[in-house]
């Protein structure tokens, strides 16, 4: 909402206040004492105009354009055919349309001058005799001069024999098209063409059928509401226009055109009518003074004069010529006439010329027939807005003596039941003050004010009314503006989004905050500030006797939506909701982000995360209030490759042959041989050649093909397929372990650093980042990735990514490994070592200084039989740890793990080929074995003398109870080691067997 | 004065008992001990039912998963239900067994507004013995209370309740034996309806163990969901030379998920607790093999390729639309009568638990019953009478003034949406006093329907056109009605469960 409207709203608000004050004051103050703002008169040609407007065809019809026809006629803009016929359905010709466009802009005189110049240039025999035709030439000349039509069009129009023109020529008598009309009016009214995005016109289905040159002008016409579509989304640019439509177009253009014509359109209501008569020649002249209360609350006084007496005698007929009439043309309820049609209470729109003469008065709402019915209330249906009553008596006037106690009702006798619709803002009053419709109780007597069949007011007796406080208003916030100090509510029935109703809200549902201070605000039952009240909130307002808000209580109406993060940016979040729709949301700086019932930062949110969003959805804006990240249950756990045998439709299982799992950029055979079932998750997407397919087409066309499968963990420990992507069997697969050199979102490809390869991706590429399935746009520069690329076996084809697996970056809390002798222990607090060695890459760095490590709640201690309680980590007794040499894993100075495993300084490495969980230990074991033995293939031993890795036969490593296992820089349980892991092991010696003291998984 | 056309019809109630009760999950099938069961039972639906069952116990300081069977038998008497739960569980890896018998007594009280409150307590002293290796944990005392409230809506029963229980186990048998105390506080929510049901529960446990030598405490959070949903898939026939193209297959899936998150002390190599607390998270899942039903195939070959072909065929197969003898015309505006009859079948009444159903004598007996139409303009002879009567009795349609239903009038979008939300009983999801919808023609929506439209749009039952208009006062064609009704059925099948499961388990 821009500032202008805000200002307007406030402005109207203050007018309203004045109006209210005035309506109260007026009955007690003499009307004549007030000086009118405008003194208006009638026009002398009113009778002539009325005569011309006496269209028989319009009278007989019930055209919607009646008001427009009379208004444009009264203002001399559109004339009839002279035979009291308007020609409602006749089409408007091009020349008429042009003439109309110029008249609308008040350019009639210019046209006549142009016509004269044109005619003067003509040879005597060619001169036009018919003035209409001559003037029409003038309009066409103007049109050609000013670019409404081309010179060629003008030449065509001037051709004497119009029948000789071909179809593509400009026939002045041909029907004008709607787009032409729009173009011409926009030109003559000097509307600025709207270039660029045509916001309104593009919404019409047939906008593309319009002449492109005219589109910016049509948009301007639509923006000014001069022309509209058919209400169902079509504009029909090439259709013709009937004369009744033309009249309506003129009326619609009045806001723009009338200032050019020096007409002012005012609104007001007839407050008073006083008739008197003044003696004049040959009789009396009736004079009426009509007081109009204008919309500014001021008085406009219109004096009309009837044609009494005579002003002279007609020189031809000898008949008396009527006196100086000063009358107005009035349109009321489908009828036209003079000021006598006006009634006190009418709401009118009056068009005033520059000489303060009134050209036309349109009665917008006539004072409707009001009936007062005293009745017994039978039932009130608030859902449908209906009230059912048994009538007792009715009258045209309110019953002053109404007390609410009627004659006892014998419904079966009186019997006259009726059901009325009651108005949305029905006023309910009782002797004790204002009430609401819910206070109208069955079987009480009430007086209903029925206006045009609708109950607009209900009067209850004081006895029957609910005794309650007044001034409490309920609704949903349309706009809250604490700066300007007002709040606007939607109507109680939830309406108020259409332009007409919006205007009503500004008047009827806008409340000002009390400026007296002490405004009490609460939201969701908590004290709040006025800024916390948002669009869409349900609010209760308590107003003081001046109608200003003194207290406000609100509750939000946020809604929950589930979706997946497509792209996270510092201040925006693109989300795909579960219903398939996508939205980009602004992220406020103070956004609350939750995960596992804990407050985490916005930084914790990653592309591909499933989220629950709390939103405040207004009619045209959505505010993000809170983000909850789904618990880790649905992260991608593995990527498989294998031959798809078929999909079992009933059980939803993918039956796979020769399954391999991706581990550190290598395909490793799974334990299970032959066939494996993988269950498809509900949201699983299956791609074949980058196109999403359903199960039945896979079973028909893709059996026996290889596919990549991304799986997530399901409840109960099983894995479910989240995405299946088939590869072309003929393609060559290459695996890159590289970092991304450059990735431009939306380009559909990225390049690698080391290999200088450009890799393209598509919807069928499985892209995993931080263990989440993401789209290609989430790949960023410097990402470390394993890329499984496929290349067609012919030249020129790009590498196409089947799988992109982007690893996690190292966390900030880096763990250091020390080897040291314990000097002293301060229980539960810290321990100090005499001196220490720190593992730096492959060697131990000795530092001859003491160092103190903190003992934390989660500091674990392992000895050769396993876990030791922290309370047993003491410096006294038989099991004293003082003087023991231990490994210390510390995060800064906080000890995370203390292990008594023996010292080793030999590094070996290899890939885990097998993990046996057989009992006992292999040769050379010194400690208590956990029972698991790792077999390393591609083994190498680091030679401390040559500083080189030298090849070794397969190495078997025993995992001890106090062996330290590190994976992704985290201390993990030995069970987290899997086949295919590349590990570095710190051992005692370089033999092919023995215990592993520290096992580090390398990526 | 209202006039009723009275008819007397003979109906046999015999037929009602011949309908086979399909597999269905009932409240309480997972018990109240924080476990999950397979829900459905092959064979008998009355008397004793034995389910597969799993639960996790934390009393040793380690989460131990027990699997086995749960046998439930129920009987009703005068507003209360007595249910006996017998658990027979084991964990072979830990050489552990768990045997438990609990008899619950649930008192049902109907409130003035139609809601039912349930109050559950023990009607006998419960017994439980857990053996792990050589150690025995036997239940010394158990205090338990459960309170539930059931809100019955025309097509859905919603419930929400709380449990609280405190168990004290005695370790071993000696006089100086230690104890383990487990206190659990739970909330549960669920709904029952024809197309599926869901129950979710969250229990927070605190465990206090003192065996005389070692004292420790721990916490555990257990989340349980069980869902059962029917889904409908089109199955195409493989051979070409067959009298029908294919048909619809209704599959009912039952699945239960238990996920837990425990914070228990780490034990040292001697089995004594340490100060280090370990967090352990895991989940269990029990699924029963889906039961399938082939739906009858209705010949509507002339609709091949029509926009709403699938929706219309599905509704005919499900019997929501019925063959009336006249050719179904998708463009024809649907009448209120036709729509009410379809609604009565799409938003079917909530089935009742057969184990709770009152035993009725099955003697063949013709009962003369006077059937009176509630509406002056709906004859009991009308083919839509049953549907209209059912929809009216359950409160899906309220009927208009003066006892007229106007069965031959057309129904508007706004009216139809209102019946949907009324059937689901979700009117209260809308903001008060009246919602403002985001449709561009919000102001054209009749005031009475605005809240319903808001809710329906929120839960995805209605969408605007491409330009954001709802056109609430347009008459509904048969085809549009089919699309909307099928969307309602799909929502009932899986849309509603999403909110329950995702909200509780995943976040």
Query: Which of A677, A867, A897 has the most B C-beta neighbours within 10 Å, making it the best mutation to test the interface with B?
Result: A867
Q: Closest residue of B to A858, CA-based? A: B276
Tokens of B60: 């040793």
The alpha-carbon gap from B83 to the nearest alpha carbon of chain A, in Å, equals 29
* Residue range A780-793: mean pLDDT, rounded: 84
Cβ atoms of residues A412 and A390 within 8 Å:
no
Strands (E), A917-994: 929-943, 948-951, 955-967, 970-971, 982-987
Q: Which residues of A982-1002 are buried (b: 16+ CB within 10 A; e: fewer)?
A: bbbbbbbebebbbbbbbbbbe
Q: Which residues of A566-578 are buried (b: 16+ CB within 10 A; e: fewer)?
A: bbbeeeebbbeee
Q: Do A536 and B431 touch (CB under 8 A)?
A: yes
Residue in B276, B450, B502 nearest the CB of A858: B276
Cβ atoms of residues B5 and B19 within 8 Å:
no
Tokens of A712: 């997530």
User: Which chain B residues are Cβ-neighbours of A620 within 8 angstroms?
Assistant: 438
Q: What architecture is domain A370-460?
A: Beta Barrel (2.40)
pLDDT tens column, B401-439: 457 788 898 999 999 999 999 999 999 999 988 899 989
Mean per-residue pLDDT over chain A, rounded:
82
Q: Do B507 and A630 touch (CB under 8 A)?
A: yes
In which region does residue B28 sit, left (phi positive, over 0), alpha (psi from -120 to 50) or beta (all else)?
A: left
Which DSSP symbol is given to A209? Answer: G
User: B34, B19, B69: which is closest to B48 by C-alpha?
Assistant: B69
Q: How many CB atoms lie within 10 A of CB B10?
A: 9
Q: Do B436 and A496 touch (CB under 8 A)?
A: yes
pLDDT tens column, A543-587: 887 778 989 999 999 999 999 999 998 899 999 998 888 999 999
User: A627, A621, A434, A464: which is closest to A545 by C-alpha?
Assistant: A434
Query: Quick one: fold of A634-726?
Result: OB fold (Dihydrolipoamide Acetyltransferase, E2P) (2.40.50)
Query: Exposure of A267 by Cβ count < 10 A (0-12 exposed, 13-18 middle, 19+ buried)?
Result: middle
Tokens of B274: 């340490």
The alpha-carbon gap from B498 to the nearest alpha carbon of chain A, in Å, equals 10
Q: Do B276 and A857 touch (CB under 8 A)?
A: yes
Pairing of strands A417-430, A454-460: parallel
- Spatial distance between the Cα atoms of A989 and B271, rounded to a whole number of angstroms: 34
- Answer whether residue B505 is part of any domain: no
- Answer whether residue B217 is part of any domain: no
DSSP letter for each residue of A649-684: TTTTEEEEEEEEEEETTEEEE-SS-SEEEEEEEEEE
* Total residue length of chain B: 507
User: Which chain B residues are Cβ-neighbours of A860 within 8 angstroms?
Assistant: 266, 276
Q: Do B507 and A385 touch (CB under 8 A)?
A: no
Q: B205 vs A394, which has greater pLDDT? A: B205
- Spatial distance between the Cα atoms of A448 and A428, rounded to a whole number of angstroms: 9
Q: How many CB atoms lie within 10 A of CB B42?
A: 12
What is the rounded radius of gyration, in angstroms, for the C-alpha atoms of chain A? 45
CATH label, A472-555, candidates 2.40.128, 1.10.10, 2.30.30, 2.40.50: 2.40.50
Q: How confident is the model at residue B356, as a pLDDT?
A: 61
Adjacent-strand bridge partners of A304: A288
Helices (H), B208-280: none
Q: How confident is the model at residue A472, as a pLDDT?
A: 84
Upstream peptide bond of B433 is cis (omega within 30 degrees of 0): yes
Residue A809: pLDDT band with limits 50, 70, 90: low
* Residue range A291-313: mean pLDDT, rounded: 73
Tokens of A54: 């006496």
B112 Cβ contact partners less than 8 Å away, ≥ 6 residues apart: none
Cβ atoms of residues A332 and A318 within 8 Å:
no
Cβ atoms of residues A256 and A227 within 8 Å:
no
pLDDT tens column, A958-973: 888 888 898 877 888 8
- Spatial distance between the Cα atoms of A137 and A131, rounded to a whole number of angstroms: 10
- SS3 helix, strand, coil % of chain A, rounded to 5? 20, 45, 40
Cβ atoms of residues B322 and B303 within 8 Å:
no
Q: How confident is the model at residue A7, as a pLDDT?
A: 41
User: Which chain B residues are Cβ-neighbours of A613 within 8 angstroms?
Assistant: none
Residue in A474, A562, A866 nearest the CB of B268: A866
CATH label, A559-630, candidates 2.40.50.140, 3.30.56.10, 2.40.50.320, 1.20.58.220: 2.40.50.320
Cβ atoms of residues B107 and B119 within 8 Å:
yes
- The tally of domains found in chain B comes to 1
Which DSSP symbol is given to A747? Answer: S
Adjacent-strand bridge partners of B236: B246
Q: What is the ipTM of this complex?
A: 0.84
Q: Do A536 and B433 touch (CB under 8 A)?
A: no
- Answer whether residue B441 is part of any domain: yes
Is 60 exceeded by the pLDDT of residue A358? Answer: yes
Q: How many CB atoms lie within 10 A of CB B14?
A: 13
The alpha-carbon gap from A636 to the nearest alpha carbon of chain B, in Å, equals 15
Q: Do A612 and B401 touch (CB under 8 A)?
A: no
Q: Where are the domains of chain A?
A: 92-174, 177-241, 370-460, 472-555, 559-630, 634-726, 732-806, 904-1003
Tokens of B192: 């029952």
Q: How confident is the model at residue A87, as a pLDDT?
A: 84
CA distances from B484 to B226, B314, B336 (A): 28, 12, 15
> H/E/C letters for each residue in A391-457?
EEEEECCCCCCCCCCCCCCCHHHHCCEEEEEEEEEEEEEECCEEECHHHCCCCCEEEEEEECCEEEE
Interface size, chain A vs chain B, as Cβ–Cβ contacts under 8 Å: 150
3-class DSSP state of B429: helix
- The ranges of chain B with pLDDT < 70 are 1-26, 39-47, 175-176, 354-369, 399-402
- Spatial distance between the Cα atoms of B102 and B127, rounded to a whole number of angstroms: 7
Instruction: Give the position of tokens 């069970």.
Output: A975
User: A108, A80, A71: which is closest to A358 by C-alpha?
Assistant: A71
Q: Closest residue of A to B252, CA-based? A: A650
Q: Do B433 and A538 touch (CB under 8 A)?
A: yes
3-class DSSP state of A211: coil
Is 90 exceeded by the pLDDT of residue A633? Answer: no
Query: Exposure of A931 by Cβ count < 10 A (0-12 exposed, 13-18 middle, 19+ buried)?
Result: middle
CA A442 from chain centre, in angstroms, equals 43
Instruction: Give the position of tokens 């406009």.
Output: A300
pLDDT tens column, B157-186: 999 999 999 999 999 877 667 899 999 999
CATH label, A732-806, candidates 3.40.50.280, 3.40.50.720, 3.40.50.2300, 2.40.50.320: 2.40.50.320
Q: How confident is the model at residue B368, as a pLDDT?
A: 55
Q: Which residues of B136-170 are buried (b: 16+ CB within 10 A; e: fewer)?
A: bbebeebebebebebbbbbbbbbbebebebebebb
User: Which chain B residues are Cβ-neighbours of A536 within 8 angstroms?
Assistant: 431, 436
The alpha-carbon gap from A309 to the nearest alpha carbon of chain B, in Å, equals 55
* Residue range A82-99: mean pLDDT, rounded: 86
- Answer whether residue B337 is part of any domain: yes
Residue in A557, A560, A867 nearest the CB of B269: A867
Q: Do B275 and A612 touch (CB under 8 A)?
A: no
Residue in A203, A631, A633 nearest the CB of B467: A203
User: Which chain A residues are Cβ-neighbours of B290 within 8 angstroms?
Assistant: 650-651
Q: How confident is the model at residue A914, as a pLDDT?
A: 86
Q: A876 vs A299, which has greater pLDDT? A: A876
- Answer whether residue B378 is part of any domain: yes
- Within 13 Å, how many C-alpha atoms sit on residue A151's CB side? 0
B329 Cβ contact partners less than 8 Å away, ≥ 6 residues apart: B478
Q: Domain span at residue B429?
A: 302-350+374-499
Which DSSP symbol is given to A899? Answer: E
CA A604 from chain centre, in angstroms, equals 27
User: A945, A930, A919, A807: which is closest to A867 by C-alpha?
Assistant: A930
Q: How confident is the model at residue A793, as a pLDDT?
A: 60
Q: Do A384 and B448 touch (CB under 8 A)?
A: yes
pLDDT tens column, A137-154: 888 888 888 888 888 888
Longest CA–CA span in chain B (Å) reads: 88
Is 60 exceeded by the pLDDT of residue A404? Answer: no
pLDDT tens column, A425-445: 677 877 666 777 877 877 778
Residue A80: pLDDT band with limits 50, 70, 90: confident
Helices (H), B50-142: none
- Answer whether residue B125 is part of any domain: no
- Answer whether residue B477 is part of any domain: yes
Is 70 exceeded by the pLDDT of residue A811? Answer: no
Sign of CA dihedral B494, B497, B501, B504: positive
Q: Do B498 and A578 touch (CB under 8 A)?
A: yes
Is 80 exceeded by the pLDDT of residue A45? Answer: yes
Q: Do B276 and A628 touch (CB under 8 A)?
A: no
- Answer whether residue B311 is part of any domain: yes
Q: Do B433 and A867 touch (CB under 8 A)?
A: no
CA distances from B405 to A380, B324, B337, B341 (A): 19, 20, 8, 13
């Amino acid at each position: 909402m821009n500032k202008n409207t805000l200002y307007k709203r406030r402005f109207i608000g203050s007018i309203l206040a004045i109006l209210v004050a005035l309506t109260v004051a007026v009955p007690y103050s003499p009307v004549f004492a007030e000086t009118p703002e405008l003194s208006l008169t009638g026009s002398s040609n009113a009778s002539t105009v009325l005569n011309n407007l006496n269209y028989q065809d319009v009278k007989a019809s019930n055209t919607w354009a009646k008001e427009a026809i009379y208004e444009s006629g009264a203002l001399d803009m559109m004339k009839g055919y002279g035979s009291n016929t308007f020609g409602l359905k006749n089409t408007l010709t091009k020349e008429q349309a042009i003439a109309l466009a110029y008249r609308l802009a008040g350019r009639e005189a210019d046209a006549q001058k142009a016509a004269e110049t044109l005619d003067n240039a003509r040879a005597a025999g060619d001169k036009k005799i018919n003035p209409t035709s001559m003037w029409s030439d003038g309009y066409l000349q103007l049109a050609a001069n000013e670019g409404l039509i081309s010179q060629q069009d003008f030449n065509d129009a001037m051709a004497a024999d119009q029948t000789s023109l071909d179809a593509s020529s400009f026939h002045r008598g041909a029907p004008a098209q709607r787009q032409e009309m729009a173009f011409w009016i926009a030109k003559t009214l000097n509307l600025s063409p709207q270039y660029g995005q045509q916001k309104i016109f593009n919404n019409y289905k047939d906008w593309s059928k319009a002449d492109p040159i005219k589109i910016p002008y049509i948009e301007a016409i639509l923006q000014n509401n001069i022309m509209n579509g058919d209400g169902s989304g079509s504009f029909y640019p090439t259709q013709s226009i009937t004369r009744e439509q033309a009249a309506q177009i003129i009326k619609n253009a009045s806001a723009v055109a009338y200032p050019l014509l020096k007409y002012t359109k005012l609104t007001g209501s007839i407050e008073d009518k006083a008739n008197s008569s003044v003696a004049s020649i040959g009789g009396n002249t009736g004079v009426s003074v009509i007081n109009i209360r204008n919309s500014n609350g001021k008085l406009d006084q219109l004096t009309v004069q009837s044609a009494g007496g005579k002003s002279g005698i007609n020189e031809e007929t000898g008949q008396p010529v009527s006196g100086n009439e000063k009358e107005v043309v009035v349109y009321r309820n489908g009828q036209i006439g003079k000021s006598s049609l006006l009634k006190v209470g009418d709401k009118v729109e009056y068009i005033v010329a520059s000489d303060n003469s009134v050209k036309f008065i349109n009665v917008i709402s006539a004072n409707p027939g009001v009936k007062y019915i005293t009745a017994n209330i039978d039932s009130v249906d608030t859902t449908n807005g209906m009230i059912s009553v048994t009538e007792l008596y009715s009258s045209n006037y309110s019953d002053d003596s109404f007390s609410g106690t009627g004659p006892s009702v014998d419904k079966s006798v009186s019997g006259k039941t009726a059901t009325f619709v009651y108005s949305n803002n029905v006023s309910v009053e009782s002797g004790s003050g204002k009430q609401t419709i819910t206070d109208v109780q069955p079987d009480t007597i009430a007086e209903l004010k029925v206006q045009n069949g609708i109950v607009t007011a209900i009067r209850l007796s004081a006895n029957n009314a609910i005794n309650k406080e007044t001034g409490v208003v309920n609704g949903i916030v349309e706009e809250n503006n604490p700066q300007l100090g007002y709040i606007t509510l939607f109507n109680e029935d939830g309406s108020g989004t259409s332009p007409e109703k919006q205007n009503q809200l500004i008047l009827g549902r806008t409340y000002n905050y009390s400026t007296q201070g002490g405004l009490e605000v609460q939201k969701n039952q908590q004290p709040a500030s006025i800024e916390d009240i948002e669009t869409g909130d349900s609010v209760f307002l308590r107003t003081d006797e001046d109608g200003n808000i003194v207290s406000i209580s609100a509750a939000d109406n946020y809604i929950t939506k589930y979706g997946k993060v497509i792209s996270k940016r510092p201040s925006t979040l693109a989300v795909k909701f579960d219903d398939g729709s996508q939205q980009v949301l602004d992220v406020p700086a103070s956004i609350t982000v939750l995960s596992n019932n804990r407050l985490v930062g916005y930084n914790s949110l990653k592309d591909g995360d499933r989220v629950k969003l709390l939103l405040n959805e207004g009619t045209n804006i959505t505010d993000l209030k809170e983000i909850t990240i789904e618990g880790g249950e649905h992260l991608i756990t593995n990527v498989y490759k294998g031959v798809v045998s078929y999909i079992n439709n009933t059980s939803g299982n993918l039956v796979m042959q020769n399954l391999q799992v991706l581990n550190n950029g290598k395909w490793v055979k799974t334990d299970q041989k032959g066939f494996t079932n993988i269950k498809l998750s509900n949201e699983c997407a299956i791609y074949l050649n980058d196109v999403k397919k359903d199960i039945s087409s896979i079973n028909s066309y893709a059996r026996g093909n290889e596919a990549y499968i991304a799986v997530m963990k399901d409840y109960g420990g099983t894995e479910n397929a989240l995405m299946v992507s088939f590869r072309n069997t003929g393609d060559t697969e290459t695996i890159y372990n590289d970092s991304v050199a450059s990735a431009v979102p939306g380009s559909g490809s990225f390049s690698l650093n080391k290999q200088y390869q450009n890799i393209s991706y598509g919807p069928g590429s499985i892209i995993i980042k931080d263990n989440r399935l993401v789209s290609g746009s989430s790949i960023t520069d410097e990402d470390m990735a394993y890329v499984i690329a496929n290349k067609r076996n012919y030249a020129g084809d790009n590498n196409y990514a089947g799988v992109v697996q982007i690893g996690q970056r190292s966390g900030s809390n880096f763990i250091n490994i020390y080897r040291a002798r314990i000097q002293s222990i301060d229980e539960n607090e810290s321990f100090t070592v005499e001196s220490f060695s720190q593992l730096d890459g492959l060697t131990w760095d000795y530092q001859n200084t003491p160092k103190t490590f903190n003992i934390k709640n989660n500091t674990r201690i392992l000895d050769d039989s396993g876990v030791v309680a922290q309370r047993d980590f003491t410096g006294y007794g038989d099991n004293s740890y003082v003087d023991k040499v231990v490994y210390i894993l510390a995060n800064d100075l906080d000890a995370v793990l203390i292990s008594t495993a023996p010292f080793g300084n030999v590094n070996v490495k290899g890939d885990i080929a097998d993990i046996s969980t057989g009992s006992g230990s292999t040769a050379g074991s010194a400690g208590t074995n956990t029972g698991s033995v790792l077999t390393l293939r591609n083994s190498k031993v680091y030679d401390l003398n040559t500083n080189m890795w030298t090849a070794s036969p397969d190495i078997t490593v025993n995992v001890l109870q106090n062996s330290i296992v590190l994976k992704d820089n985290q201390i993990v349980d030995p069970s987290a080691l899997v086949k295919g892991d590349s590990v570095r092991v710190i051992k005692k010696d370089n033999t092919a067997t023995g215990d592993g003291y520290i096992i580090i998984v390398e990526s | 004065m209202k006039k009723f056309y009275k008819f007397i019809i003979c109906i046999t109630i015999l037929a009602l008992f011949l309908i086979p009760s399909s597999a269905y999950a009932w409240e309480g099938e997972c018990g109240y001990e924080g476990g999950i069961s397979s829900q459905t039972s092959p064979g008998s639906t009355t008397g004793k039912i034995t389910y597969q069952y799993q639960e996790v116990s934390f009393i040793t300081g380690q989460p131990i998963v027990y699997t086995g069977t749960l046998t439930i038998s129920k009987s009703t008497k005068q507003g209360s239900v007595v249910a006996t739960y017998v658990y027979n569980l084991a964990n072979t890896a830990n050489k552990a067994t768990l045997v438990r018998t609990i008899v619950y007594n649930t008192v049902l009280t109907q409130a003035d507004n139609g809601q039912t409150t349930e109050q559950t307590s023990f009607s006998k002293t419960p017994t439980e013995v857990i053996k792990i290796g050589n150690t025995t944990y036997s239940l010394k005392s158990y205090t338990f209370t459960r309170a539930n409230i059931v809100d019955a809506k025309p097509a859905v029963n919603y419930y929400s309740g709380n449990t609280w229980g405190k168990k004290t186990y005695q370790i071993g048998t000696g006089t100086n034996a230690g104890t383990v105390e487990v206190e659990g506080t739970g909330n549960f929510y669920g709904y029952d309806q024809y197309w599926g049901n869901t129950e979710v529960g969250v229990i927070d446990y605190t465990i206090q163990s003192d065996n005389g030598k070692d004292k420790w405490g721990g916490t555990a959070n257990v989340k349980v969901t069980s869902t059962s949903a029917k889904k409908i898939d089109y199955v195409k026939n493989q051979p070409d030379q067959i009298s029908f193209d294919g048909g619809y297959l209704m599959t009912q899936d039952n699945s239960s998920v238990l996920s837990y998150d425990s914070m228990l002390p780490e034990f040292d190599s001697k089995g004594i607790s340490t100060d280090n607390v370990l967090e352990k998270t895991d989940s269990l899942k029990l699924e029963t093999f889906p039961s399938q039903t082939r739906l009858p195939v209705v010949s509507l070959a002339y609709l091949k390729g029509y926009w709403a072909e699938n929706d219309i065929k599905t509704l005919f197969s499900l019997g929501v639309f019925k063959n009336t003898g006249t050719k179904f015309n998708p463009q024809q505006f649907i009448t209120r009568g036709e729509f009410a009859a379809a609604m009565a079948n799409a938003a079917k009444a909530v089935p009742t638990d057969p184990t709770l159903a009152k035993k009725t004598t099955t003697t063949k007996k013709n009962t003369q019953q006077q059937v009176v139409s509630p509406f002056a303009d709906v004859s009991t002879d009308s083919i839509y009478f049953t549907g209209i009567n059912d929809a009216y009795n359950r409160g899906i349609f309220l009927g208009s003034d003066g006892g007229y239903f106007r069965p031959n009038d057309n129904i508007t979008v706004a009216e139809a949406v209102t019946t949907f939300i009324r059937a689901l009983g979700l009117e209260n999801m809308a903001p008060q006093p009246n919602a403002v919808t985001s449709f561009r023609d919000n102001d054209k929506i009749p005031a009475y329907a605005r809240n319903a439209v808001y809710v329906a749009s929120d839960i995805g039952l209605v969408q605007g056109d491409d330009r954001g208009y709802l056109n609430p006062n347009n008459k509904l064609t048969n085809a549009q009605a089919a699309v909307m009704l099928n969307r309602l059925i799909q929502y009932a099948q899986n849309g509603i469960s999403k909110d329950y499961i995702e909200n509780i388990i995943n976040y």
